[in-house]
Amino acid sequence: MTERPDIVQYRADFPILAAQMHGKPLAFLDSGASAQKPRAVIEAMNRIYESGYSNIHRGLYEISQNLTEDFESVRSKVAAFIGAPSDKNIVFTRNATEAVNLVAQSWGAAHLQEGDEIILTEMEHHANIVPWQLLRDKTGIVIKTVPFDERGVLDLEEYESLLSHKTKLISLVHVSNALGTINPVNKIIKIARDFYPEIKVLIDGSQGVVHMPVDVQAMDADFYVFTGHKLYGPTGIGVLYGKTEALESMPPYQGGGDMIERVAFEETTYKEPPYRFEAGTPAIVEVIGLGAAIDYVSQIGMADIAAHEKALLTYGTEKLRAISGLTMHGTAPNKAGIMSFTIEGLHISDIGMILDQCGVAVRTGHHCCMPLMARLGVEGTVRASLGLYSNRNDIDQLVEGLEKAKDLLS
């Protein structure tokens, strides 16, 4: 499997990739933490600041009216991108973390009580663990977890055994940010529906929408969350998709302007979703940037991006496995573009610093997945994560840097 030349050409759209680190070409392999931004996103945001900025949902003047229309058009764009039935199912948040917290503190607080059970997995990001622990501390709910095997594959038999009449919610990651495992979320949701149709399911899609096409209706998720900055968009903007009946059953998460119908000291009434959950001035320009990012990846095609990354993942995995003493963590048969590894006798931080000197940007540490690392029996890993702009030269530069690290540290 070789690189797709029709995808590789888009690398030139990312200005930062012409930069150097320590006099070496930049091999950016940390897209799993935050992806680089194409010129189209940068220019779309700059245009607003330079010639079209105002507040929205308020002004009667032309600039405000135009920007309000552009802002709301992104809501429709997001809905189409993930297969949502309506733009009314799309709530803008600061990031995926806030989206999970919104569901926990609004839907969870309204619908869960002491003794109710929720199911997570042992490969969750902290952002899909801690919000539920905070809710547990307030309500007395019970958290159960699904383990994964040595390949990084969830134990679905154990998952089925955890389902009971007390199960009210399942919340799990679409793609593991630490291992790259693509979880069979459609199957997991169907198992839950067959057991008890009223069980709600939240999918953390932060690493899902960036690597593959997503259809939330076909998936049948009640909630799906993701963040803009991993999708080649800006920071400060995230998305919560919710089924209509779920959102309508949720009280406001925060109070303030723009989420109200009428305010009086005796009583305040609130807007319908999604606006009920968007208190205060939103991240206006960041939403425009997210829309530009979605336009950009849609023009390329998510299926083509997925095929490109899969080819690079195969190439990179073969190259890494050839390094003596290197252990791959996360060898599931169905993976996205994430390679996580350790090298016997070498500390991950030392590896990361030497790679930096070689112009290679990777992430080292627990990747906000301490329970996952405990399951693996390691302190952390080195993670190389791919984007649509990644190429074989990046992989080769990584391998050369790792060989240098072995020579210097052994």
Whether 207 and 177 have beta carbons less than 8 Å apart is answered as yes
Q: Tell me which amino acid residue 263 is.
A: V
Q: Is residue 358 among the annotated active site residues? A: no
Query: Could you give the CA distance from residue 192 to residue 84 in angstroms, rounded to a whole number?
Result: 21
Give me the catalytic one of 8, 143, 368, 378: 368
Whether 285 and 45 have beta carbons less than 8 Å apart is answered as yes
Query: Could you give the CA distance from residue 6 to residue 303 in angstroms, rounded to a whole number?
Result: 13
Q: Please name every residue paired with 58 in a beta bridge, in sequence order, or none if there are none.
A: none
**Helix, strand, coil percentages for the chain (3-state, nearest 5):** 45, 20, 35
Q: How buried is residue 357: exposed, middle or buried, by Cβ count under 10 Å (0-12/13-18/19+)? A: middle
Query: Could you give the CA distance from residue 53 to residue 67 in angstroms, rounded to a whole number?
Result: 7
Q: Tell me which amino acid residue 81 is.
A: F
Whether 34 and 235 have beta carbons less than 8 Å apart is answered as yes
Tokens matching residue 391:
């190429």
Give the contacts of 402 (CB within 8 A, at least 6 positions apart): 320, 323, 326, 343, 351, 355
The Cβ of residue 368 has, within 10 Å, a number of other Cβ atoms equal to 17
Query: Could you give the CA distance from residue 342 to residue 359 in angstroms, rounded to a whole number?
Result: 19
The Cβ of residue 17 has, within 10 Å, a number of other Cβ atoms equal to 18
The Cβ of residue 115 has, within 10 Å, a number of other Cβ atoms equal to 11
Active site amino acids: 368
